[in-house]
Amino acid sequence: MSLAEVPIELADYVFAPSLDEANVWTRKCYGLESFASCMSENLDGFPFLTTTIATRLKPLRERSHLEPAVRDAWITLRHALPAIAVKSSRLPSPDNRFVLDYPVPKTCYDAESWADETVFFDDTVKDAYEAHKDLKDGRWWRPAISHWVGELHVSPTPEGWQFT
């Protein structure tokens, strides 16, 4: 679909090439996105979404075997769902709007660097509830600081692995 075919009510939500950075697509946030970003700035990450999935892999995999596969899957997901690889930030005054930037990877190294910044392995064994609560309460950031919007945290449970 070309930009000319986008319904007028959705035009503000379409990414366009950045005027400042080559290979970056950008758009301003509106509506619920702006509201949630303002809440995050002022209410310590209140609207952040944290989801945890616990698995039992048979046979149980060691981190050394699991980590490369998880990173590859995360990069593949970025290709299928670019929204997990945008950065949020805020324009300076007087505009002061929140924006989303999507840096298009030019090379495999770019995608791997993104994975290095967004995939976190922790070797501490915790049950799913404990790990989920720790991340929900302690891992959030202000949308204005130019941070990736998605992260993947992987850690062992007593019976397998969990992905948050």
Q: In terms of pLDDT, which residue wins out, 12 or 97? A: 97
The predicted-structure confidence for 144-157, as pLDDT tens digits, reads as follows 999 999 999 999 99
- Find the domain containing 118 and state its range: 14-163
CATH code for position 19: 3.30.559.10
- Res. 133: pLDDT tops 80: yes
What residue type is 83 in one-letter code?
Answer: A
E strands in 74-118: 87-90, 98-103
Average pLDDT of every residue of the chain: 88
Q: Please report the pLDDT score of residue 115 as a whole number.
A: 97
The predicted-structure confidence for 29-78, as pLDDT tens digits, reads as follows 988 888 989 888 888 777 777 788 888 877 778 899 999 999 999 999 99
Q: Please report the pLDDT score of residue 3 as a whole number.
A: 62
pTM value?
0.87
Which range has the worst mean pLDDT, 14-23, 41-50, 121-130? 41-50
Distance, CA of 53 to CA of 51 (rounded, Å): 7
Q: Please report the pLDDT score of residue 2 as a whole number.
A: 64
Judge whether 1 lies within some domain.
no
Q: Give CA angle at 109 (108, 111), nearest 5°.
A: 65
Judge whether 154 lies within some domain.
yes
Judge whether 90 lies within some domain.
yes
Q: Please report the pLDDT score of residue 120 as a whole number.
A: 96
Q: Give CA angle at 148 (40, 143), nearest 5°.
A: 20
Stretch 86-105: mean pLDDT? 92
Judge whether 21 lies within some domain.
yes
Q: Please report the pLDDT score of residue 14 as a whole number.
A: 84
Q: Please report the pLDDT score of residue 102 as a whole number.
A: 96
Question: The sheet that has 161-163: what strands, in order across it?
Answer: 53-55, 161-163, 152-156, 119-121
* Confidence band for 1, pLDDT divided at 50, 70 and 90: low
Q: Give CA angle at 117 (19, 163), nearest 5°.
A: 125
- Res. 20: pLDDT tops 80: yes
Judge whether 58 lies within some domain.
yes
Q: Please report the pLDDT score of residue 75 as a whole number.
A: 97
Q: Of 7, 28, 10, which is closest to residue 18 (Cα–Cα)?
A: 28
Judge whether 30 lies within some domain.
yes
Domain count, the chain: 1
Judge whether 2 lies within some domain.
no
Helix crossing, 108-118 with 63-80: angle to 10°?
Answer: 120
Judge whether 37 lies within some domain.
yes
